[in-house]
Amino acid sequence: MKTSLKNRWLIVLGTIIVQMGLGTIYTWSLFNQPLKEKFGWDLSTVAITFSITSFSLAFATLFAGKLQDKWGLRRLIACAGIVLGAGLMLSSQISSLWMLFILAGFVVGFADGTAYITTLSNLIKWFPERKGLISGISVGAYGTGSLLFKYINASLIQSVGVSQAFLYWGIIVTVLVVAGSFLIREASAGGSTESGNDMKIKDYTVKEMLKTKQAYLLFIIFFTACMSGLYLISIVKDIGVSMAGLSVAAASNAVALVAIFNTAGRIILGALSDKVGRLKVVAGALLVTGIAVTILSFVKLNFGLFFACVAAIAFCFGGNITVFPAIVADFFGLKNQSKNYGIVYQGFGLGALSGSFIASALGGFVPTFTLIAVLSIISVLIAMIIKTPGSKGIKNEPRKVHNMRPDPVK
């Protein structure tokens, strides 16, 4: 049976609810100082927790597709929501760093990544004719969850303390993810996807995808996009104070600015990619990123220039991570989207870890930004010349798919 347009948008609503719950993990920075004050742990050591969470999130995407095949999408999302919530609720009882790393780091990250990639990939299958817009809505909801819960979790920490805040946070996330899962229906995308110019896009398995040069070139682009954005997010306040000469209070406003422009980039560039071509959007975003980090490195900064560069990088980062799921579907088909994107998505996990290590090795902000600028230009060139596997000089334009609404899996 076919699913009506109305029911497809109910699936969108369910995905938005799930993704908002998942996005709350990006409020972690609120917990670093309170945990330090309560337990006397070193602040930088506590902050490692979120690096573990980010790495576990990316690592989970390697297995999420196989778990979906075994359990079914709705059951998998509900279970991931329960495990995610349990990890947070049990974190309210911890008294040692290693338990914090296991529960709030590994368990929470793995559950979050499992639900993130499967709900995103499923929604793209329901709207193959609007992959960029739909990616923007889904990933934008993830960013919105982070933005809203900055206020909710800050209020919880202030009113009930950091440990009890974990408990209430876990309860809320469990309710959101499990409730959203009931509105989601699993889509099937069998055979080949058909584009508007009657081309057939082969559905590649992971093994087949890894035999193409395009998989590795896309990984380089995605790694560059993620490292630049994630590194900026982690040190934006410090840049404002040390490089732009701002007060701590003024520089702190950049944290909210990053969240706002990051979310806006996800929605705007995702929709734009359906109209002008996804790789054109990625190339443009990386070019802007390269220019912005160059300005941060070599131009005397003032309040306005600092915030303009930060906003531009955050906007482009949000857009890039939104457009990439659709690019992977364009290149390698929809059938194995969760598994194939899970491979490319390791660029996120590697990018999350690389920025701080590279900065430590190179000796600070400026050389790291210079390297990011070089990688951005290289990635722009790759995005301009890369073609879909098997194409013969055909430019990569957005795939306009007609009459390809998948039937629900019974």
How distant, in Å, are the alpha carbons of 8, 74, 119, 332, 362 from that of 182?
A: 13, 7, 12, 29, 49
Whole-number Å distance between alpha carbons of 350 and 276: 29
Coil vs helix vs strand at 223: helix
* pLDDT of residue 374 exceeding 90: yes
The pLDDT, as a whole number, for residue 3 is 56
Instruction: Pick 406 or 321 by higher pLDDT.
Output: 321
Instruction: Name the DSSP class of 187.
Output: B
Indicate the helix (H) or strand (E) that contains 193. strand 193-194
Cβ-contact 18, 123 below 8 angstroms: no
Task: Provide the β-strand partners of residue 200.
Answer: 194
* Domain architecture of the chain: domains with CATH: 5-181 (1.20.1250.20), 193-385 (1.20.1250.20)
Task: Provide the β-strand partners of residue 194.
Answer: 200
Whole-number Å distance between alpha carbons of 173 and 218: 33
Torsion of CA 368, 370, 373, 379, to 10 degrees: -70
The pLDDT, as a whole number, for residue 397 is 44
The answer for residues whose C-beta is within 8 angstroms of residue 58's C-beta and 6 or more apart is 113, 345, 346, 348, 349, 350, 352
The pLDDT, as a whole number, for residue 395 is 46
- Number of helices (H) and strands (E) in the chain: give both, helices first: 16, 2
The pLDDT, as a whole number, for residue 199 is 54
The pLDDT, as a whole number, for residue 404 is 45
| Closest alpha carbon to 169 in 182, 155, 180 | 155
The pLDDT > 90 percentage for the chain reads: 55
Helix axes 248-276, 213-242, angle to 10 degrees: 150
pTM for the whole structure = 0.80
The pLDDT, as a whole number, for residue 200 is 61
The pLDDT, as a whole number, for residue 189 is 55
1-33 pLDDT, tens digit each: 455 666 888 999 999 999 999 999 988 888 888
* pLDDT of residue 168 exceeding 80: yes
308 confidence band (pLDDT: 50, 70, 90): very high
278 confidence band (pLDDT: 50, 70, 90): very high
The pLDDT > 70 percentage for the chain reads: 91
Phi/psi at 194 (5° precision) = -105, 135
What's the rounded mean pLDDT across residues 148-152?
89
How distant, in Å, are the alpha carbons of 21, 26, 317 from that of 266?
A: 17, 16, 8
The pLDDT, as a whole number, for residue 249 is 77
What's the rounded mean pLDDT across residues 328-333?
93
Indicate the helix (H) or strand (E) that contains 328. helix 303-332
Whole-number Å distance between alpha carbons of 143 and 318: 9
In this predicted structure, which of 4-13, 146-155, 330-339, 367-376 has the lowest mean pLDDT?
4-13
The pLDDT, as a whole number, for residue 147 is 83
What's the rounded mean pLDDT across residues 133-139?
89
Instruction: Pick 330 or 403 by higher pLDDT.
Output: 330
Whole-number Å distance between alpha carbons of 309 and 292: 5
Phi/psi at 391 (5° precision) = -75, 155
In the block, tokens 């013969």 appear at 392
80-109 pLDDT, tens digit each: 999 999 999 999 999 999 999 999 999 999
Mean pLDDT, rounded, of the chain: 87
Which two structure tokens, joined as six digits, stand for 319?
């857009």
Whole-number Å distance between alpha carbons of 229 and 369: 11
The pLDDT, as a whole number, for residue 394 is 40
What's the rounded mean pLDDT across residues 396-406?
45
Which two structure tokens, joined as six digits, stand for 150?
């900055």
27-53 pLDDT, tens digit each: 888 888 899 999 999 887 888 888 889
The pLDDT, as a whole number, for residue 55 is 86
Whole-number Å distance between alpha carbons of 114 and 71: 12
The pLDDT, as a whole number, for residue 396 is 44
153 confidence band (pLDDT: 50, 70, 90): very high
